[in-house]
Amino acid sequence: MSTEAVQPYPATHPIRDLSNYFARIRRDISSVLERDPAARSRLEVFLVYSGLHAIWAQRISHWLWVRDVKFLARAMSQVTRWFTGIEIHPGATIGPGFFIDHGMGVVIGETAEIGADVTIYHGVTLGGTSLNKGKRHPTIGDRVVIGAGAKVLGAITIGDDSRIGANAVVVRSVPPNSVVVGVPGQIVHRSQPHLPTDAPDLNHTSLPDVVGVALKQLLERVDLLESKLNGHDETPHVHAPKGESWEGHDFSI
């Protein structure tokens, strides 16, 4: 007699799938309460959070999609978009604990893959950049936070515990524990890594201005070299900002 563990039913059995579905709903609601200070109760989250409604509907349409009921899956995704303003292709793969805050205007493409405990905000696009039928959308690692309006494009990978700044345009892969800002996105490695046990990193205002810092240091270096050579040149030019403010006369305003 075989000693292998006997499964009560196959992993793809509808009863097990339904059980897993409701277990994920409970985790989704807990994720919202952890990451959104405006959430006051489980009932409120269950009833009025459109981001969760879109995710729950996508899980059903994805179940249909992988079983080759593709037209019904696509029709369901479009109905969900009409009600929530969020478009998630039924072919996308979404991990547990996914949270879409606000959500209006979010677009997630067919071959996108999203890890566990990911948070994204309104206006985010996980888009494709190729006409090929294969993998053409991003892979998002665990515990990634993507700020409002950010665009992550192509078959690239965003490493675990990274943060994408609001309105950044990301077109190349990002290593784990990085912060991305700007257009095109500039990658800044964290000096203090975010750990899986840490609270979600939702500090959207803590974004380095890599271009501004580089320009400031360059202008300060030019002023220093001019003073060492022959005093400051009287030719009008842009000066380094004082603190965080640029002088208006440097820009004819």
pLDDT of residue 53: 95
Q: Which of 106-115, 174-183, 189-198, 217-226 has the highest mean pLDDT?
A: 106-115
pLDDT of residue 22: 81
Give the percent of the chain with pLDDT over 90.
51
Is residue 91 helix, strand or coil? Answer: coil
| DSSP symbol at 84 | H
Q: Alpha carbon 122 to chain centroid distance?
A: 10
Strand-pairing partners, residue 101, are 121
Amino acid type, 122: H
Q: Are 144 and 138 in contact (CB under 8 A)?
A: no
87-98 confidence digits (pLDDT tens): 999 999 999 999
pLDDT > 50? residue 225 = yes
36-65 confidence digits (pLDDT tens): 888 899 999 999 999 999 999 999 999 999
pLDDT of residue 202: 77
CA separation (Å) from 199 to 31, 143, 194, 196, 202? 11, 10, 9, 8, 9
> What are 213's two structure tokens?
């810092």
Give the residue, 209 or 111, on which the prediction is more confident. Answer: 111
Give the residue, 11 or 113, on which the prediction is more confident. Answer: 113
- Banded model confidence at residue 7, pLDDT cuts 50, 70, 90: very low
199-210 confidence digits (pLDDT tens): 777 776 677 777
Give the residue, 228 or 182, on which the prediction is more confident. Answer: 182
| DSSP symbol at 219 | H
pLDDT of residue 204: 65
